[in-house]
Amino acid sequence: MNTTVVDTGTDEKTWGGGNKPLNASYGKLMMWFFITSDALTFSGFLASYGFSRFKFADIWPIADNVFTHVPFIHGNYPMIFVAFMTFILIMSSVTMVLAVDAGHKMDKSRTTIYMFLTVIGGLIFLSSQAYEWTTFIKGEYGAVGTHSGNIIQFVDTDGNRVALKDFAVAEEKQRVVHESKSGLWFIKEGTLPTYTVEEVIAGFEANQNLLVKTTYIDEATGHKTILSRNESLKELKTKGKNVVEGANLIQNEYGPPLFANYFFFITGFHGFHVSIGVLLNIIIFFNVILGTYERRGSYEMVEKVGLYWHFVDLVWVFVFTFFYLV
Amino acid sequence: MADTHAHKLEIFRGLIKFKSNTQKIWGVLIFLSIVTAIEVVLGIYKPEILMGHLMGMKILNWIFIILTIVKAYYITWDFMHMRDEVAALRRMVVWTGVFLICYLVFILLQEGGYVGSVLTNGFVKSDF
């Protein structure tokens, strides 16, 4: 660096140039500035998520009722899988900082191993997120959407969720998915739900033990309100408009559309950061193997990419809190 | 680069002092894991005693947010080596973020609560 700074002969003066008040290299400083600005981007997203949550405070879904899946295991296990994801990311942060530490000691082989482990950790996290998205999009129980865009879910008398496929009465249907080749070529239609509202209502009437679970939180218990049988029938018949299965950007079976939108956008943006991080880590990994930093005499590049990788972990800590805990 | 070799090795204001940087990393990992475990257990069982409201939010949620900030502190300070940077760099990054984020969060949550109260208490039917 010093070669690029013109020596003014005023080295003893603070503003004379040549001194480094922050005691950090240009690259590291720029990485910190990027991290600060990226932190503001993410906090903008999370704060707007908070805005919508405060706006729809009474109908926002409870995370424990939404994220309940664990791969290869059936049943209701809230929190377990996200806790695993968090641990994976913290763990890969640890291997990253160990790589930085080994880099400081100019230990090429240990840096290589730790960079490799960091990449593996990142890949495990990304596949976990893919699983999380898949189950979220697929949905489990299905629900009925109301005219106002709200959601009606179904439970049995014990309060356990009941899937539409377990009670809806299938009727003969004429309606098929519209395809541009068989009708109006300029109109498209997405996949039709498995059942129509009429079929759901018929099934609901036939099963006396079914009740409606609204999206409204009961202040006293902290759970969603479950209506009585008569109220349930009335709610379903007067408000029910369409069948919702799983989640997309327009509607989802968990709650307000914004809930899924924020979920896709914020975890997606974070996942994008992780992907970039994995890519950078792979580049650094190969550079370490090739001996680039050995020849350069400094492993600072590992440290700079490490800063980014830790930042991604840092963001996840907040996403974890605001999507899954609070 | 030589100056960055010197790591500050104590955490909790000197309560625990590690022998090497590697040891400190594992120590911080154990601490972060414990904090995460506490969060997960509280999140699953949601103790009744913590469901009371304090300053417009559940006490449990305040605990989650505080634990999150604690985790963020140790990730930044020990994994990102903020502890070893000079005070000016530390303040430049942290204070800027903290100030702007607090400001933004305050404005948006305040407004969100107001819009929500208009929806629930106003003369507009939002559920049909």
Q: Say which DSSP state B20 is in.
A: S
Looking at residue B1, what is its pLDDT?
39
The answer to whether residues B32 and B56 belong to one domain is yes
CA atoms within 13 A on the CB side of A143: 26
Interface of A with B in 98-127 (CB under 8 A): 98, 100-101, 104
**Residues in contact with A314: Cβ distance below 8 Å, sequence separation at least 6, in sequence order:** A39, B72, B75, B76
Of B36, B78, B79, the CB nearest to A87: B36
The answer to whether residues B65 and B29 belong to one domain is yes
pLDDT higher than 80, residue B32: yes
- Whether residue A245 contacts residue A153, with contact meaning beta carbons closer than 8 Å, is answered with no
Of A87, A222, A321, the CB nearest to B64: A321
The answer to whether residues B69 and B121 belong to one domain is no
B64 with A317: Cβ contact below 8 A? no
The answer to whether residues B6 and B28 belong to one domain is yes
Domains of chain A: 23-139+259-325 (1.20.120.80), 143-245 (no CATH)
Looking at residue A12, what is its pLDDT?
64
The answer to whether residues B51 and B27 belong to one domain is yes
Residues of B in contact with A80 (CB under 8 A): 40
For residue A251, give the nearest of A114, A95, A86, A137 by alpha carbon: A137
The total of structural domains in chain B comes to: 2
Look up residue A130 and give its two tokens. 């893919």
A324 with B43: Cβ contact below 8 A? yes
Looking at residue A253, what is its pLDDT?
93
Looking at residue B4, what is its pLDDT?
46
B36 touches chain A (CB under 8 A): yes
Q: Which residues pair with A213 in a beta bridge?
A: A153, A226
Side chain identity at residue A247, one-letter code: A
The answer to whether residues B127 and B66 belong to one domain is no
Looking at residue A9, what is its pLDDT?
57
Looking at residue A152, what is its pLDDT?
93
| Residue range A155-203, pLDDT digits in tens | 999 888 999 988 888 877 777 888 888 888 888 887 788 888 889 999 9
The answer to whether residues B75 and B49 belong to one domain is yes
For residue A115, give the nearest of A309, A312, A315, A316 by alpha carbon: A309
B79 with A54: Cβ contact below 8 A? no
The answer to whether residues B52 and B11 belong to one domain is yes
A318 with B97: Cβ contact below 8 A? no
* Torsions phi, psi for B50 (to 5 deg): -95, 10
Q: What is the ipTM of this complex?
A: 0.90
Interface test with B, best of A315, A317, A322, A324 (most B CBs within 10 A): A317
In the 3-class helix/strand/coil scheme, how is A256-304 assigned residue by residue?
A: CHHHHHHHHHHHHHHHHHHHHHHHHHHHHHHHHHHCHHHHHCCCHHHHH
- Whether residue B50 contacts residue B60, with contact meaning beta carbons closer than 8 Å, is answered with yes
The answer to whether residues B68 and B98 belong to one domain is no
What is the rounded CA–CA span in Å between residue B117 and residue A81?
35
What is the rounded CA–CA span in Å between residue A275 and residue A104?
26
What is the rounded CA–CA span in Å between residue B78 and residue B31?
12
Looking at residue B95, what is its pLDDT?
95
Print the domain residue range for B24: 2-85
Side chain identity at residue B82, one-letter code: M
What is the rounded CA–CA span in Å between residue A271 and residue A267?
6
The answer to whether residues B9 and B69 belong to one domain is yes
Angle at A49 between CA A45 and CA A52, to 5 degrees: 140
CA distance A274 to chain B (A): 16
The answer to whether residues B103 and B122 belong to one domain is yes
Looking at residue A262, what is its pLDDT?
96
pLDDT band at B20 (very low <50, low <70, confident <90, very high): confident
B112 with A54: Cβ contact below 8 A? yes
For residue A256, give the nearest of A46, A9, A66 by alpha carbon: A66
Local structure of A5: helix, strand or coil: coil
Looking at residue A302, what is its pLDDT?
95
Side chain identity at residue B120, one-letter code: T
Interface test with B, best of A29, A298, A299, A314 (most B CBs within 10 A): A314
B96 touches chain A (CB under 8 A): yes
For A116, counting Cβ atoms within 10 Å of its Cβ (0-12 exposed, 13-18 middle, 19+ buried), the class is middle
Looking at residue B49, what is its pLDDT?
83
Looking at residue B2, what is its pLDDT?
41
Place of tokens 């919508």: A52
Looking at residue A106, what is its pLDDT?
92
Q: What's chain B's Rg over C-alpha atoms?
A: 20
Interface of A with B in 152-211 (CB under 8 A): none
pTM summary value: 0.89
The answer to whether residues B81 and B21 belong to one domain is yes
Of A150, A314, A326, the CB nearest to B127: A150
Of A58, A91, A146, the CB nearest to B120: A58
Looking at residue A124, what is its pLDDT?
97
For residue B56, give the nearest of B112, B14, B119, B124 by alpha carbon: B112
| Residue range B52-74, pLDDT digits in tens | 888 778 899 999 999 999 999 99
- Whether residue A107 contacts residue A208, with contact meaning beta carbons closer than 8 Å, is answered with no
Task: Name residues of chain A where pLDDT drops below 50.
Answer: 1
